Structure 1
């Protein structure tokens, strides 16, 4: 095997990615070779392109995400492949989806700013769940009274949605043009491909079917709600004890 030949290197990279089961960065792939046999970076990139083209017409594809490269089943086959798991995936609540959408599109953002847009308090369990899944992280503290934490998304969030970086998120203006139904229509409208996986993940508290809605609708709705967003936090809220992973009444004292 000539490792300096992209066509010979491509199957080996395929084996690495199949065995790993998760994204691998170029740096990590470099480390898998002894220094004497390690191909040049340009050869790696050509080999990855050969591998990508070899996946054409197959049920899986080579995808570059924030953490690196991975081999994954094409989205077209997701409805059937999902039948391999006996239990039907539970869904996250609308409140969690709205919170995640605001963080993704308005980061860095504080909990108070999220609450000002949505008009209700953010349940503590929502933030806890997003932090535990490593979809969001604290990136600093706002220099205002109370010094509230500022949240932003992570590489794990990008990986989950098949995104290489935040620029790959569909613009809100595009989502607004794509939304044909009223914003509060709770139908089962198609979800953008980049965000489809979110609805199929498990949650601590499943949402009743009547509460399920298009993530795209939520993004458009939240964008229109954002007018009048506060930037001061003199009235920071006291957090009541959470009971379920959904909205909780705001303390307006």
Structure 2
């Protein structure tokens, strides 16, 4: 379960008019970094705006914070429409070698992660369409596991016979894979070259798939 920031008990001075401009900016930077550091989820622009002045530019603050962190082993990353504080990828092996306890990622198998990535590319997509992509059945258990991890949500009903459910990615998908938006997904040609996905495998006769195989519970 994600950590929740404590509710604000007393009003705070966001304008800081009593401070000279340079100290005011530095205090706003510290506030924004503190909020992002304390959150286990991407922090939105609207959330950060609550702790700084009305005329403060969040984007410029983030730019200055990133510059401050340039030589540090962690950074601010844009994820799912917000920002997260993360260790730089170059230190991943060092952290694993240390054995230090870290916040565990979602426990996905390589196959589940690949199915999830396929849904990211082809959404909204039905389970039978996913099965055609992989050349074997994608089980209900696999979909249920991804839904339980909050990576998937139900999309619109498919116009195919039986009106099966389609699946789309949830915001947690972007956060887990470090994407800001779906436009940040890697070029699908990389996955095609690796033999994992094919954009051509969903053929025109997909609409003739048996409806009883598709009529799933939400």
When the two structures are superposed, what TM-score results if normalisation uses the length of structure 1?
0.66
How far did residue 145 of structure 1 move? 1.4
Larger RCO: 1 or 2 (CA < 8 Å, sep 6+) = 1
> What is the aligned partner in structure 2 of residue 128 from structure 1?
144
> What is the aligned partner in structure 2 of residue 75 from structure 1?
89
Does the Cα contact within 8 Å between 1:112 and 1:233 map onto a contact in 2?
no
Does the Cα contact within 8 Å between 1:116 and 1:230 map onto a contact in 2?
no
Is the alpha carbon distance of 1:139 and 1:90 closer, same or farther for their aligned partners in structure 2, counting shifts above 3 Å?
A: closer
How far did residue 28 of structure 1 move? 1.1
SS at match of 2:43: coil
> What is the aligned partner in structure 2 of residue 18 from structure 1?
37
Q: Gaps (5+ residues) in structure 1?
A: 180-216, 240-253
Note the aligned Cα RMSD (angstroms). Answer: 2.8
Does the Cα contact within 8 Å between 2:42 and 2:84 map onto a contact in 1?
yes
**Where do residues 44-63 of structure 1 align in structure 2 (5 Å cutoff)?**
44-63=58-77
Is the alpha carbon distance of 1:227 and 1:142 closer, same or farther for their aligned partners in structure 2, counting shifts above 3 Å?
A: closer
How far did residue 133 of structure 1 move? 1.3
**Where do residues 88-237 of structure 1 align in structure 2 (5 Å cutoff)?**
92-176=108-192, 179=193, 217=194, 220-223=195-198, 226=201, 228=203, 230-236=205-211
Is the alpha carbon distance of 1:71 and 1:93 closer, same or farther for their aligned partners in structure 2, counting shifts above 3 Å?
A: closer
How far did residue 221 of structure 1 move? 3.1
SS at match of 1:103: helix
Is the alpha carbon distance of 1:126 and 1:64 closer, same or farther for their aligned partners in structure 2, counting shifts above 3 Å?
A: same
Does the Cα contact within 8 Å between 2:119 and 2:125 map onto a contact in 1?
yes
Is the alpha carbon distance of 1:174 and 1:139 closer, same or farther for their aligned partners in structure 2, counting shifts above 3 Å?
A: same
Q: Gaps (5+ residues) in structure 2?
A: 1-15
> What is the aligned partner in structure 2 of residue 39 from structure 1?
54
**Number of matched residues?**
192
Is the alpha carbon distance of 1:228 and 1:144 closer, same or farther for their aligned partners in structure 2, counting shifts above 3 Å?
A: closer
SS at match of 1:232: helix
SS at match of 1:117: helix
> What is the aligned partner in structure 2 of residue 9 from structure 1?
28
Is the alpha carbon distance of 1:46 and 1:92 closer, same or farther for their aligned partners in structure 2, counting shifts above 3 Å?
A: closer
